[in-house]
Amino acid sequence: MTTALPLEDYQRYGRQMILDGVGLEGQLKLRQSSVVVVGAGGLGCPALQYLGAAGVGRIGIIDHDRVELSNLQRQILHNEETLGKYKAESAATALKRLNSGLEVNVMVSALTSDNALSILEPYDIVLDCTDNVPTRYLLSDACVTLKKPLISGAAQKLEGQLCVFNLGPESPCYRCLYPQPPPQESVGSCAELGILGVVTGTIGNLQALEAIKIILGKEDQSSSLLLFSAFATPPFRSVKLRRRKPTCPACSNPDGCLGSTDYIQFCGGVRPDWIIQGRIPGVDLHEIITSAQIPPRILDVRPTVEFGICHLPGSENIPLKELLKHPEKYMNSATELYVICRLGNDSQIAAEALRHTGGGELTVRDVIGGLRAWSNTVDPGFPIY
């Protein structure tokens, strides 16, 4: 007997093939489809895992970052043995272990406006599993030009969101929702703000689901933004979106705006290197602490929960939000004040606010690179988280 699928695939995919809306026809559609996932991190890993498990025939993985220990809390395709390897290669190895019949294409260089069209064009669907704003605009503009659906996910702290862009002639693109990028100072990374791993897992799985729905022809053509909040009840809510904007520079332009945009500059330029712009190295603060007859005053401006994880002996916890409300409250008779945080970003903001209070003879300094630099240069036993 001649079969439409390899014989072992009937057993592998049988549980989903017996579902209404899938069947043999749907499984063949999955086998003949192609999806590219940009970002093999917290969102990309669960999305890739379930796309591969469902039998999507060809999967592309684009990521130029390498696996770090801090990734393993949420990036489930990586493990201790792949530390230091490219995430795209680590994820591809995990997928092939799961399903050796998959065709997996790996790219370990950055996606740019010069290469985006040629790299994305061979695939049916694009998943945005990145965590930076310039790439989001780049992917959206490329998908508008290529007329491909873009499944966009985002997650930070306890919250996530999901949206399918450019699904049809009336579907909006990312620029329709966000004509201008947010201010750089309002955008934080998972390293700065934190992330609960299951939040990325939830959104990443939903991205895979949306891709499968599109492949099977089950996608609702109406556009909506799905919002997820892990500790809320109920955790999900949906916001209906308007149609694409006729004034959108991407959607309204037959040629799109990919070639005319410098995405880094459009999103505010290169992010400041906070470590270079700091005021005092951790080693200098350590010398001051050990040599001073009177212990210096050190303000730790991290949130209280982070201060409870670890802190310098004798430091005082004043969360940044609290300090910015009334910085004058935290000036005293000391002649020098040292401000520290986790990475060296918030401490600069706090130090500047304290200086602007006009504290007379008070010298305010913030620590370059924060407590992470302290661990690297002063005390290797100080926890990095």
User: Annotated binding site for ATP, which residues?
Assistant: 42, 63, 70-74, 87, 131-132
Q: What does DSSP assign to residue 195?
A: B
C-alpha triplet 64, 69, 75: angle, nearest 5°: 65
Rounded Cα–Cα distance for residues 270 and 29 (Å): 42
Q: For residue 106, what are the contacts with CB-CB under 8 A and spacing of at least 6?
A: 60, 61, 86, 88, 89, 92
Catalytic residue among 45, 143, 163, 190: 190
Residue 128 contacts residue 136 (beta carbons within 8 Å): yes
Rounded Cα–Cα distance for residues 145 and 227 (Å): 27
Catalytic residue among 45, 163, 257, 341: 341
Rounded Cα–Cα distance for residues 357 and 337 (Å): 13
Radius of gyration of the chain (CA): 24
Q: Supply 156's token pair.
A: 């930070």
190 is catalytic: yes
Among residues 333, 334, 364, the alpha carbon closest in space to that of 349 is found at 364
Write down the H helix ranges in the chain.
Answer: 7-12, 14-17, 23-32, 44-54, 87-98, 116-120, 133-146, 174-177, 190-193, 197-216, 263-266, 282-291, 304-309, 320-325, 346-355, 370-377
Sign for the CA dihedral angle at 40, 84, 276, 189 comes to positive
Binding residue numbers: 42, 63, 70-74, 87, 131-132, 173, 176, 248, 251
Residue 220 contacts residue 161 (beta carbons within 8 Å): no
Q: Contacts for 7-16 with beta carbons within 8 Å, 24 or more apart? A: 9/55, 9/101, 12/55, 12/99, 13/54, 13/55, 16/54
267 is catalytic: no
Among residues 304, 311, 299, the alpha carbon closest in space to that of 367 is found at 299
Q: Is 116 helix (H, G, I), strand (E, B) or coil?
A: helix
Binding residue numbers for Zn(2+): 173, 176, 248, 251
Catalytic residues, by residue number, are: 190, 341
